Amino acid sequence: MFPHKVDSAWEIDAPAKLNLYLEVLGPPTEGFHSLETLMVRVRIFDRLRWSSNASGLSGCSLQIRNSSASGNSTYGSLTSGSENLVLKAADRLGQVAGVEPHGSFELVKRIPMQAGLGGGSSDAAAALLLANEGWGIGYSRQRLMEIAADIGSDVPYFLSSGAAVCRGRGELIEPVAGLPRLNFVVVKPPIGLSTAEVFSRLEFGSCEPRDASPAIASLLASLRQGAISDAGRWMMNRLEPAAEQLTPWIKRLRQAFSKCGCYAHLMTGSGSAYVGVMRSAKQARRAARQIAGMDLGSVFATASC
């Protein structure tokens, strides 16, 4: 993500992410599970804009607009109050830098909520970048990543570049180079899932303490070789069975994608969005049209970025 100047304002596109591999390495400590996950950005974007207050008043405001591209996704629980991650990020940066938060944020939402797509975390990272520029702070990306870790587990990832293997709570980031462009179909069903509730259904017997899995190394090796079919054998999400206990939509989406001829299909994050790894952009568009006719939710044909 890189902010750019538009007249006197700053704007940035905040991408969604997909988890192509998600393993739980152990039971919770201090309230958090230790994870190992491969995350890639995709071309589904929110847009965030910051402009200064013409009146010169202190304090930040946030206005939210829903893009028409959001389809039947619901944003009813999205608030523009102080608990929104955009304003939390701005307030935290102001505290650390000794700057009084000021200006107006405008957020155009396209990334569905409670989907495992990281929209809120991406928006928070975007807010840090915009405020860093708009307020003339000049912090490095590394410094912003340290601040981001206080805001949310996935926020530091969006300040890194490209794909990455993330461990711990998500704050330990290992950038991954050499991956090919991947084509996806993403479906967000009519319901969302709470991350905390999904983790509460996780079978602790399946997440005894363990070292990093060799499976992720095999996945990365196959991807770098362009052997996407082989890579699909290693893609998995340990949270998918837990999410399936909470909603029948996961099973419905799995059945739909099993008929699309994709390399692999799995839930992303803690759900409820489901992803198919497609053979080409053309096949992704064709499969997206097919799935859109099944009335399974909001459908996106997209690619890694």
The helix/strand/coil state of 177 is coil
Each residue's pLDDT tens digit, 22-66: 999 876 666 677 899 999 999 999 999 999 975 555 689 999 998
CA dihedral 118→121→123→128, nearest 10 degrees, is: -150
Residue 301 to residues 184, 198, 234, 290: CA-CA distances in angstroms? 6, 26, 22, 11
CA distances, 221 to each of 7, 109, 269, 276 (Å) = 45, 35, 22, 20
- State mean pLDDT over 273-302: 97
d(CA 181, CA 302) in angstroms, rounded, equals 11
What is the DSSP track for 140-155? -HHHHHHHHTTT-TTH
Asked if 151 and 92 count as a contact pair (C-beta separation under 8 A), the reply is yes
Nearest partner of 170 among 240, 223, 121, judged by Cα:
121
Quick check: 286 and 183 in contact, CB under 8 A? no
**Predicted pLDDT at 93:** 98
Q: Is the pLDDT of residue 119 over 70?
A: yes
Mean local confidence (pLDDT), 182-209: 86
The token pair at 73 is: 């996704």
Ranges of beta strands (E only) in the chain are 4-6, 9-29, 32-51, 59-66, 102-109, 164-168, 172-175, 183-188, 236-237, 264-267, 274-278, 298-303
Reduced to 3 states (helix: H, G, I; strand: E, B; else coil), residue 91 is: helix
pLDDT at 154 over 80: yes
What is the Cα–Cα distance from 48 to 130, expressed in whole angstroms?
A: 8
Lowest mean pLDDT among 29-43, 75-89, 108-122: 75-89
- Two structure tokens written together for 270: 């803690």
pLDDT in tens, 241-259: 999 999 999 999 999 999 9
pLDDT for residue 55 = 52
High-pLDDT (> 70) share of the chain, % = 89
**Amino acid making up residue 225:** Q
Q: Which residues of 180-200 are buried (b: 16+ CB within 10 A; e: fewer)?
A: eebbbbbbbbeebbeeeebbe
Domains and CATH numbers, the chain: 4-175 (3.30.230.10), 183-303 (3.30.70.890)
Catalytic residues: 17, 154
CA geometry: angle at 21 spanning 293 and 196, to 5°?
A: 80
Q: Please report the pLDDT score of residue 28 as a whole number.
A: 65
